[in-house]
Amino acid sequence: MIKGEFFVDDNSLRLDKLFALHCQDLSRSRIKELIESGSVLVDGEKAKAGQKLKLGQKVYYFYEEAKPLSVEAEDIDFDIIYEDDDIIVINKPQGLVVHPCTSTKKGTLVNGLLYKIKNLSGINGVLRPGIVHRLDKNTSGLMIVAKNDFAHNIIAKEIEEKKDFSRTYIALCEGHLKDNAGRIETYIARDVKDRKKMAVSSSGKKAITNYNVIKSYDGYDLVEFHLETGRTHQIRVHSKYINHPIVGDEVYGKAVKGLNGQLLHSYKLSFIHPRTQERMSFEIDLPQYFKDFLSKLKEL
């Protein structure tokens, strides 16, 4: 059992923010989990993540140390686009799960990273080393991976602050969008009818997606999506919300014969390098199966 305490020396911070400063080896999601589970007390009382603190209050925390779990290194097929001492940029193929979970313990990107890379950040634990952000199993394209905790923390902050980290996707959507460009702003939460899915909701977390139609085909639009936020399944949920689901999306649209999932590709990634502070941008072409599908369509 790990235990600790500290006194509030700045009454302008929320509990979760101050806790992160005192416990820098814990991820934001882990801190949130501890607070919500009652493992963090303020003056002996159960606390809330957004609680405003007062000078001199005592914060006490306790939690079980994570048990080491074995993740097997495997030779998984994916391309490394760029690598230095701090980061890796990869091209994730469609069908590859990012990290192990209860239902998938092998054959993931993390298994492949452990095979190819000597060092990875440990902030997200043994099941998600190096993983700062993720792509859905059947979404292909660019991802950044952290090789150390220094890089992980800075990149995670870039993503959270939504100013230096930029992600752009290309998708083929069913039908024709009413406007050639627009902005979708909603809240996204777990679907109350199916906990494996996400849905537009009156509550949940704010989700903002900008879009631009690149090309139109008979019955389809090729659309560029730019994320301002990074919610689970965000582009897929928003595409369904505007009644133009992504082609091949078996969860939010319908399956398409000959496709193994949605035609959604993370093709552009831009960020500030955590150590050099230089802006880095990467772009990757559409995968061949995506091009093959487009080649069979009639351009308008």
- CA dihedral (138, 144, 150, 154) in degrees, to 10, reads -90
Distance CA 166, CA 100 (A): 26
Q: Which candidate, 118, 114, 243, 238, places its Cα nearest to that of 177?
A: 243
Which residues face 298 on adjacent strands? Answer: none
Q: Are strands 45-46 and 40-42 parallel, antiparallel or unpaired?
A: antiparallel
Q: State what percent of residues in the chain have pLDDT above 70.
A: 92
pLDDT at position 126 is 56
Secondary structure letter of residue 131 according to DSSP:
B
Whether 61 has a pLDDT exceeding 70, the answer reads yes
pLDDT at position 68 is 47
**Residue-wise pLDDT tens digits, 173-183:** 999 999 999 99
Other CB atoms within 10 A of residue 79 CB: 10
- Catalytic site residue from 16, 136, 221, 249: 136
Q: Is 136 a catalytic residue?
A: yes
Domains of the chain by start residue, with CATH: 2-63 (3.10.290.10), 68-161 (3.30.2350.10), 167-267+289-295 (3.30.2350.10)
Q: Are strands 87-92 and 79-83 parallel, antiparallel or unpaired?
A: antiparallel
Distance CA 197, CA 190 (A): 6
Distance CA 286, CA 265 (A): 7
Distance CA 277, CA 297 (A): 43
72 Cβ contact list (under 8 Å, min separation 6): 106, 111, 114
pLDDT at position 127 is 54
Query: At residue 213, what are phi and psi to the nearest 5 degrees?
Result: -75, 120
Q: Which helix (H) or strand (E) holds 266?
A: strand 264-272
pTM of the model: 0.76
Three-point CA angle 122, 127, 130, nearest 5°: 40
Q: What is the mean pLDDT of the chain?
A: 88
pLDDT at position 163 is 76
238 Cβ contact list (under 8 Å, min separation 6): 184, 186, 200, 207, 209, 225
pLDDT at position 124 is 58
Give 21 or 172, the one with higher predicted confidence: 172
- What b/e string do you get for 159-186 counting C-beta neighbours within 10 Å, with b at 16 or more? beeeeebbbbbbbbbbeebeeeeeebeb
**Residue-wise pLDDT tens digits, 231-282:** 999 999 999 999 999 999 999 999 999 999 999 999 999 999 999 999 999 9
The amino acid occupying position 283 is: E
pLDDT at position 157 is 84
- What b/e string do you get for 119-155 counting C-beta neighbours within 10 Å, with b at 16 or more? ebbbbbbeebbbbbbbbbbbbbbbbbbbbbeebbbbb
